[in-house]
C-alpha cells in the first residue's frame, strides 16, 4: 500500500489539464501498490480552492489547498519547501509531478531537499514486487530506459499526455494548509509570463497538434496550419527548429530535442522531413499523420498515416474535410 502526494499544476489561476493527468497517474500508482490515498497539493492565489472538485473527480482522496497571494505565479522556493515538508512527514511513499516546465524545475528541488531519488519524465510505469518500474525515453527517443525506484519515499514525474485524465470520483475532501516557507520571501520571483506558444492552446494541453516545417516555404503559409487547427477546435500549432531558426515562428513553438516534448492524441506533420532531433520531441504521439511530397522522407517511417503530396494542395482539402465532418456532428 502506498500513499501518493501529487502536485496539481496551476497556471494563470486555472488548473491545467496536466494536473488531471497527474492525479490519474497518482491514482494508478496507489492502486498498483495495493491501494492507498492520493493527496493533491493545490497552490494558488485566493480562490484557487474552487479547482479542488475537479481533482476529487479524478481520484484525489484529499486536496491540500494552499491559498496565498505569493502563489499567484509559480513560486518554486516556497512550493519546494512545502512539498518537501509534506513528503518528510512519512505519510507518503511517492510524490508525483507532471514533467512540464514547472514540474521539471520543481521535482528535483524537492528530491534534493528530501535526499530521495527522482525518476523523471516517465511515459508509463508498473509496480513489480512493491518497486515502481518506469519507462523513460532516452537517446532522442530511440531507446526506452527502464528505471526502478529503489526505496521510498521517491519522486516521479510523468510526461504530459502519457496518462489521459480518467474519472475516478471521490467525495470532495479539502484541507487548508500553510506554506512551509514565506512565499513572499522567495529569492526567485516570476515577473512575467509569456504565452508558451502562438496558438490559443498550449502545446502540452492540446489533444491535436498541427506542426509545420520548412516545406511550408514561408512564414505566411503557416496560416494553412492555423486554419486546420481552427477547424479541429482543440488544436495547437507547433514547428520544427528549421522554422524557428528562420524566425518564422517563435522558439516556444519548437518541438524536438531542443524544444518541447509533446505527446498529443493526434500529431499532423506538415512539410516536415522527420529529422531525429524532431522525432525526439513527438514520437510518443498516439497517432501521427505526415504530409510530405517526398515519399522517402524519414517522417513516414514513424507515421501511422502518410499523405505523399504537396502541402499547398493537401492542407486546404484536409481543412475542408475536417470542417465538413464537424458540421455533420
Ligand X SMILES: Cc1cc2nc3c(=O)[nH]c(=O)nc-3n(C[C@H](O)[C@H](O)[C@H](O)COP(=O)(O)OP(=O)(O)OC[C@H]3O[C@@H](n4cnc5c(N)ncnc54)[C@H](O)[C@@H]3O)c2cc1C
Cβ proximity to ligand X: between 134 and 212 the closer is: 212
- The answer to whether residue 293 forms part of the interface with ligand X (CB under 6 A) is yes
Q: How far apart are CA 95 and CA 327, in angstroms?
A: 44
CA 134, 17, 265: angle at the middle one, nearest 5? 70
Taking CB under 6 A as the criterion, the residue among 36, 160, 196, 215 binding ligand X is 215
User: To the nearest whole angstrom, how small is the minimum distance from the Cβ of residue 247 to ligand X?
Assistant: 14
Taking CB under 6 A as the criterion, the residue among 11, 27, 278, 283 binding ligand X is 278
User: To the nearest whole angstrom, how small is the minimum distance from the Cβ of residue 126 to ligand X?
Assistant: 30
Taking CB under 6 A as the criterion, the residue among 128, 182, 246, 294 binding ligand X is 294
User: To the nearest whole angstrom, how small is the minimum distance from the Cβ of residue 157 to ligand X?
Assistant: 20
Q: How far apart are CA 58 and CA 64, in angstroms?
A: 15
Instruction: Please enumerate in sequence order all residues whose Cβ is within 8 A of that of 261, keeping only pairs 6 or more positions apart, or say none.
Output: 99, 121, 159, 160, 255, 280, 281, 282
Q: How far apart are CA 60 and CA 171, in angstroms?
A: 9
Binding to ligand X (CB under 6 A) within 299-318 occurs at 310-312
Cβ contacts of 133-137, under 8 Å, gap ≥ 24: 137/280, 137/283, 137/284
- The answer to whether residue 283 forms part of the interface with ligand X (CB under 6 A) is no
User: To the nearest whole angstrom, how small is the minimum distance from the Cβ of residue 210 to ligand X?
Assistant: 14
Q: Between 160 and 199, how does the x/- string for binding to ligand X read (CB under 6 A)?
A: ----------------------------------------
- Beta strand pairing call for 118-128 and 154-158: parallel
Taking CB under 6 A as the criterion, the residue among 82, 98, 100, 240 binding ligand X is 240
Number of residues lying near ligand X (CB under 6 A): 27
CA 234, 7, 110: angle at the middle one, nearest 5? 130
Site stretch for ligand X (CB under 6 A), options 21-29, 120-128, 167-175, 253-261: 253-261
| Cis peptide preceding 153, ω within 30 of 0 | yes
Q: Which residues in this chain contact ligand X in the complex, by CB under 6 A?
A: 213-215, 240-243, 254, 256-259, 271-273, 275, 277-278, 281, 291-294, 297, 310-312
Amino acid at each position: 500500500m502506498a500513499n501518493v502526494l501529487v502536485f496539481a499544476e496551476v497556471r494563470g489561476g486555472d488548473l491545467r489539464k496536466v494536473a488531471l493527468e497527474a492525479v490519474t497517474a497518482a491514482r494508478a500508482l496507489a492502486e498498483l501498490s495495493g491501494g492507498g490515498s492520493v493527496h493533491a497539493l493545490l497552490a494558488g492565489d485566493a480562490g484557487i480552492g474552487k479547482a479542488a472538485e475537479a481533482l476529487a473527480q479524478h481520484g484525489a482522496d484529499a486536496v491540500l489547498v494552499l491559498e496565498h497571494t505569493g502563489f499567484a505565479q509559480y513560486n518554486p522556493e516556497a512550493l519546494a519547501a512545502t512539498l518537501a515538508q509534506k513528503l518528510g512527514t512519512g505519510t507518503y511513499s511517492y510524490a508525483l509531478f507532471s514533467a512540464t516546465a514547472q514540474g521539471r524545475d520543481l521535482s528535483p528541488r524537492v528530491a534534493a531537499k528530501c535526499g530521495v531519488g527522482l525518476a523523471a519524465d516517465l511515459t508509463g510505469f508498473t509496480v513489480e514486487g512493491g518497486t515502481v518500474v518506469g519507462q523513460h525515453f532516452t537517446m532522442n527517443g530511440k531507446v526506452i530506459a527502464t528505471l526502478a525506484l529503489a526505496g521510498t519515499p521517491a519522486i516521479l514525474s510523468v510526461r504530459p499526455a502519457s496518462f489521459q485524465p480518467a474519472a475516478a470520483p471521490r467525495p470532495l475532501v479539502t484541507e487548508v494548509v500553510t506554506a512551509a516557507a514565506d512565499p513572499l520571501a522567495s529569492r526567485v520571483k516570476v515577473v512575467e509570463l509569456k504565452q508558451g506558444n502562438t496558438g490559443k492552446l498550449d502545446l502540452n494541453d492540446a489533444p491535436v497538434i498541427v506542426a509545420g516545417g520548412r516545406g511550408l516555404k514561408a512564414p505566411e503559409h503557416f496560416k494553412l496550419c492555423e486554419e486546420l487547427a481552427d477547424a479541429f477546435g482543440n488544436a495547437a500549432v507547433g514547428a520544427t527548429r528549421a522554422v524557428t531558426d528562420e524566425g518564422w515562428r517563435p522558439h516556444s513553438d519548437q518541438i524536438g530535442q531542443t524544444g518541447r516534448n509533446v505527446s498529443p492524441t493526434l500529431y499532423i506533420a506538415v512539410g516536415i522531413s522527420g529529422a531525429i532531433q524532431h522525432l525526439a520531441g513527438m514520437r510518443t504521439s498516439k497517432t501521427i499523420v505526415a504530409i510530405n511530397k517526398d515519399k522517402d522522407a524519414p517522417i513516414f517511417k514513424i507515421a501511422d498515416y502518410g499523405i505523399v503530396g504537396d502541402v499547398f494542395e493537401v492542407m486546404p482539402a484536409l481543412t475542408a474535410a475536417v470542417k465538413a465532418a464537424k458540421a455533420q456532428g
